[in-house]
Amino acid sequence: MRRTIVSLALMFVACAPRVVLTVQSPATFADEPGGYEEAEVVRVVDGDTIVVIVSGRSEGPGAGKAAIDREARVRLIGIDTPESVKPGTPVECFGREASAAAKALLEGRDVRLVKDVEETDTYDRLLRYVYIGDEMANARLVANGYATAYTYPPNIRWSELFVQLQREAREGDRGLWSAETCSGNP
């Protein structure tokens, strides 16, 4: 029985996507113009969408300083990853790996959410740049080849950087751009 459990555990580990996030993002929180929300990532939906608990404070009359927390879906601005959970569609090449990378990078972490121009998208998800400490997660996913640059005006503050990071990931054969992955054509 014990041998079967160990064998199953090893099979699961062997089937889990390998995640390599060694290239750090040059975008830092200090580069942002100001204003953010603090949150905890409670779940990664896929490579470019997460669920967070946003921390807020109520300081109105009679409220004291009570904490007000709300759950929200967040779409990482400026990037796109292969689909892995879209209803009615097959899992795209490298979708599981992109989701695993986002999970390894973000799940259970305290983050800062920074808005660009628009508050939400058509699916009512918050549109945000997501920071872990001082580093932007959106850019790190592109730099390591788990996401592509996705310019969608008017939220374009970091679009030039994302395009540059995508070019570097492609030239470095990282992630989606590797010849062993999706034939290097995401």
Does residue 138 contact residue 128 with C-beta atoms inside 8 Å?
Answer: no
Integer Cα distance of 49 and 116 in angstroms: 16
Q: Residue 4: pLDDT above 50? A: no
Catalytic residue among 32, 83, 140, 157: 83
Q: Annotated catalytic, 167?
A: no
Give pLDDT, residue 95: 85
Q: Residue 173: pLDDT above 50? A: yes
Does residue 69 contact residue 53 with C-beta atoms inside 8 Å?
Answer: yes
DSSP element (H, E) containing 131: strand 126-132
Integer Cα distance of 101 and 121 in angstroms: 23
Q: 45-54, 109-118, 145-154, 172-181 — which is least confidently predicted?
A: 172-181
- Identify the residue with better confidence: 185 or 172: 172
Catalytic residue among 96, 112, 125, 157: 125
The mean pLDDT value of the chain amounts to 85
% of the chain with per-residue pLDDT over 70: 82
Does residue 138 contact residue 157 with C-beta atoms inside 8 Å?
Answer: no
- Identify the residue with better confidence: 36 or 89: 36
Q: How far is CA 44 from CA 8, 39, 53, 92, 180, in A?
A: 25, 13, 12, 17, 25
Domain architecture of the chain: domains with CATH: 21-184 (2.40.50.90)
Q: Annotated catalytic, 75?
A: yes
53-95 tens-digit pLDDT: 998 654 444 444 456 688 999 999 999 998 877 777 776 788 8
84 token code pair: 């892995």
Give pLDDT, residue 74: 98
Give pLDDT, residue 12: 38
% of the chain with per-residue pLDDT over 90: 61
Dihedral over alpha carbons 19, 13, 96, 179 (to 10 degrees): 60
Q: Annotated catalytic, 174?
A: no
Mean pLDDT on 10-28: 70
Give pLDDT, residue 55: 85
Integer Cα distance of 166 and 171 in angstroms: 9
- Identify the residue with better confidence: 64 or 153: 153
